[in-house]
Amino acid sequence: MIDANASIFALGPDFAGRRYAVLGLARSGLATVAALIAAGASVVAWDDKAEARDVAAALGAEITDLLSIDLSGLAGVVVSPGVPINRHPIAALARVANVPLIGDIELFAQARSHLPPHKVVGITGTNGKSTTTALIHHILKSAGVLTTMGGNIGLPILAQAALTPKEAGVGVYVLELSSYQIDLTHSLACDVAVLLNITPDHLDRYDGDFMAYAASKARLFTMQYANQVAVIATDDDRCRMIASHINHRLIRVSGTDILVPVPARWPALQGPHNAQNVAAAKAVCERLGLSAAQVEMGLSTYPGLPHRMERVGEIGGVQFVNDSKATNPASAAPALAAYPPAPRPRIHWILGGLAKGEGLGECEAWLGHVAHVYLIGDAAAMFARALGKRVPSSYSGTVEQAVADAATAAQNGDIVLLSPACASFDQFRDFEARGDAFRASVAALPGGER
């Protein structure tokens, strides 16, 4: 829910007198309602949850089920990224009424002409976009650049005050953009647009069509102007193909541009998967005018993100690492790769949840790093079959039991790694709650920090 003391983004005078519908009243939806009403627009809003509807009503919105009204004449239907527009009836109703289906990022894009001098960096990709977004933001901030981040990370962009740089300065908005958000955006011309990688994910939103998912990511570049910059990591075939069709300024980067293992002076960026994140962040920040020394200072002081290779404790020489954000095999594989088996496999891997596909996928290549697998959640039996007898495994069922089982078996120098390669919704509301359960379970162990 929206904080009563939260800032409201100033959308500008163009929105006054317009009427919008808002579907989905979680954080971004409520921030959208507040920003539109503050700009002088009228809003009709709906959410299946009565509590969310009550908050929107208190902000000044009219509450009506949008499927029951004529949408004609609206300036837009603002849809939460969580609404599956490929199968939700709101999409057809908006199309019949000739009303654009948009998201909060599109409202931000439409407001840009009234903002103080600024640049926008947009980051997308299947994996690594949260880390890269936070890393770019941190490097800029540590260099004294006025900046904020939003989109698919942190506070919704419309729940933040617009950047107001002093004197001749330029503020930088750093936006993490999911494919869902790009689908609902039509005019976001990023000064620098970044694509990290594309692997199969979220295909239920694209009717199982991987090419359609990739095309959604590629749209970020079609909205740019010729004088704007595309930064594309060309480590996979789909990204290389997208790069080959870029007709404006293109910077190609690769994880191979960064030494692996990454320098020890970047403690929160260990593991080969972070090489690509660093390469993209360096290219962006250098393009924005930062010096090599400023970039290096930001890399060395970056604290990391919760639930992404987060070291939550060490007990008896055993490290406990929370990588709950790894919700598919492609994002779990780099965590396994980060701990080479010298002189023996050291990873006690907590694996499972709500699977997004069959098998171990990209994790197959790194099974030699794993000492034992502790299976949890809905996908436990499927993963047990996929592992066979190649790696010892056992059924723990829950995160709490898996932590206890792994802590009992792990030896000095080992790593207990929650990198579940699955969504969390079988047992938790989101991956953050799953990571919090892991952290609490570690703290409850003998020798843990209660």
Which letter does DSSP use for residue 354 in this model?
Answer: B
C-alpha–C-alpha distance, residues 65 and 46, integer Å? 5
Q: Percentage of residues in the chain with pLDDT exceeding 70?
A: 98
pLDDT, tens digit, for every residue of 67-112? 999 999 999 999 998 899 999 999 999 999 999 999 999 999 999 9
More reliable by pLDDT, 340 or 254: 254
Helices 50-59 and 27-38: angle between axes, nearest 10 degrees: 20
Task: Answer yes or no: 129 catalytic.
Answer: yes
Task: Answer yes or no: 138 catalytic.
Answer: no
pLDDT reading at 1 higher than 80? no
- The radius of gyration of the chain from alpha carbons, rounded to an integer in Å, stands at 23
pLDDT band at 309 (very low <50, low <70, confident <90, very high): confident
Q: 88, 141, 186, 202: which is the annotated catalytic residue?
A: 202
CA distances from 420 to 89, 142, 320, 348, 444 (A): 33, 33, 14, 12, 21
pLDDT, tens digit, for every residue of 392-415? 999 999 999 999 999 999 999 999
Cα angle: 409, vertex 410, 412; to 5 degrees: 140
C-alpha–C-alpha distance, residues 422 and 332, integer Å? 9
State the residue for tokens 């066979």.
388
C-alpha–C-alpha distance, residues 184 and 188, integer Å? 10
pLDDT reading at 450 higher than 70? no
pLDDT, tens digit, for every residue of 172-224? 999 999 999 999 999 999 999 999 999 887 777 888 888 999 999 999 999 99
pLDDT, tens digit, for every residue of 313-323? 999 999 999 99
Predicted pLDDT of residue 22: 98
pLDDT band at 6 (very low <50, low <70, confident <90, very high): low
pLDDT band at 4 (very low <50, low <70, confident <90, very high): very low
Q: 118, 119, 137, 152: which is the annotated catalytic residue?
A: 152
Q: 118, 119, 129, 369: which is the annotated catalytic residue?
A: 129
CA distances from 341 to 303, 337, 368, 370 (A): 26, 9, 7, 8
